[in-house]
Amino acid sequence: MNESNALNLLVSQKKQVAKDILEFQFAAEDESELPSFQPGSHIAIATPCGANRQYSLINDGNKPTLYQIAVKLEPQSRGGSQSLHEQLNVGHSVIVQRPDNSFPLVDAPGYLFIGGGIGITPLIGMARACQSSGKSFRLIYCARSEEHAAYWQDLKNTFDDSVVVHFDGGDPEEVYDFWDEFMIPNSDHVYCCGPRPLMDEIKALSGHWPEQQIHFEDFNPQSGRDYVNIPFTVSIKSTGESFEVGDSATILETLRGQGLRVPSSCESGTCGSCKMKLLSGSVEHRDFVLESDEYESAIMVCVSRGKGDIEIDFEDY
């Protein structure tokens, strides 16, 4: 975490907003104004277990006096969400990075927002911004059930017919049919956030749309797709070193294990912090950050892997 951008805040509120989802609010001790932010922004938090995790901001970013996030307790948590749920309470101090935005709302004639589960959080501020500016938008919110869907009733009350809430009961046969939304391309920009199966479906359905109109942020990129990891060698040009990346390790973990300092935050392929130069070799890109025209020159080392031996280097070399 970048110490120059760090804020020491207090937990001012903690409450349950859905099954396994807690809302946290953070404020300065003197309740002073915090750095502002735009829709789609997130903050990185130093969790009690020591891991840094990113969470989308839900509240209005214009002269805020608090930061509001929602955290889902993940069954496969490596400690981040679990430690927040179990150890972080009202009155506790927490180190928070100033807001950053890797999922910005670009100017467009209209918008289609698609949220799955906890992926609704960055879209709430976007919908609010559209309502304030008079922009046309639709929000489709998919979840297993009412008890699993944070804020769904508030969204319906606030945005009325602009919101469609769909509960599938966990039945694959009852998932929302998005084909009508994508059959004929239009000028809307699409923002999608949720679990990997949802992301994969929207990516497939929007393949005939202009790529720059489709925007993704993934909260659970490791689920929903079966990857086969093969060992490979990664070489660092600036240091002249080479390391074996095993089938159960990431490039990021391997480099850290060798004492190399690599910037990172989400460790899920969504924030872009661990981006490195790709100098040679073929890569299986598993992130949702890079555009297709960057595939030959960059790699997100927290999730992506070499299809064979690769050579990479740090961004500042």
The DSSP call for residue 100 is: B
239 sits in which H/E element: none
Residue 309: pLDDT over 60: yes
Report d(CA 305, CA 81) in Å as an integer.
26
93 sits in which H/E element: strand 93-97
Instruction: Please write the tens of the pLDDT for every residue from 247-278.
Output: 989 999 999 999 998 888 777 776 778 999 99
Whether 260 contacts 236, CB under 8 Å: yes
Give residue 3's pLDDT band: very low, low, confident or very high (50, 70, 90). low
Place of tokens 């004929």: 184
The domain 3-97 is classified under which CATH number: 3.10.310.10, 3.30.420.40, 3.30.300.30, 2.40.30.10? Answer: 2.40.30.10
Place of tokens 């209209």: 110
What is the strand order of the sheet 275-280 is part of?
A: 241-245, 232-236, 310-313, 275-280, 298-300
The DSSP call for residue 224 is: S
Task: Give the tokens for residue 199.
Answer: 């992301």
Whether 220 contacts 269, CB under 8 Å: no
**Alpha carbon of 307 to those of 32, 76, 187: distances in Å?**
50, 26, 37
To the nearest whole percent, how much of the chain has pLDDT over 70? 93
Average pLDDT, the chain: 91
Residue 70: pLDDT over 90: yes
Residue 135: pLDDT over 70: yes
To the nearest whole percent, how much of the chain has pLDDT over 90? 74
pLDDT at 232: 97
Reference 63, options 31, 90, 104; nearest CA is 31
Give me the CATH code for the 232-313 domain, please.
3.10.20.30
Domain with CATH 3.10.20.30 in the chain: 232-313
Whether 43 contacts 66, CB under 8 Å: no
Average pLDDT (152-160) is 96
Angle of helix 152-159 versus helix 121-133 axis, rounded to 10: 10
> What is the amino acid identity at position 111?
Y
**Alpha carbon of 55 to those of 12, 123, 160, 258: distances in Å?**
17, 12, 26, 29
pLDDT at 225: 47
Domain with CATH 2.40.30.10 in the chain: 3-97
Reduce the DSSP state of residue 213 to 3 states and report it: helix
Task: Give the tokens for residue 259.
Answer: 């004492």
Reference 197, options 174, 215, 179, 172; nearest CA is 172
Domain with CATH 3.40.50.80 in the chain: 110-220
Reduce the DSSP state of residue 43 to 3 states and report it: strand
pLDDT at 216: 92
Whether 68 contacts 129, CB under 8 Å: no
Q: What is the DSSP string of 151-196?
A: THHHHHHHHGGGEEEEE-TT-GGGS---HHHHSS--S-EEEEEEEH
Residue 98: pLDDT over 60: yes
Report d(CA 190, CA 207) in Å as an integer.
12
Distance of CA 295 to the CA centre of its chain: 20
Report d(CA 300, CA 277) in Å as an integer.
9
Instruction: Please write the tens of the pLDDT for every residue from 40-53.
Output: 999 989 889 877 78
Give me the CATH code for the 110-220 domain, please.
3.40.50.80
The DSSP call for residue 205 is: H
Whether 235 contacts 242, CB under 8 Å: yes
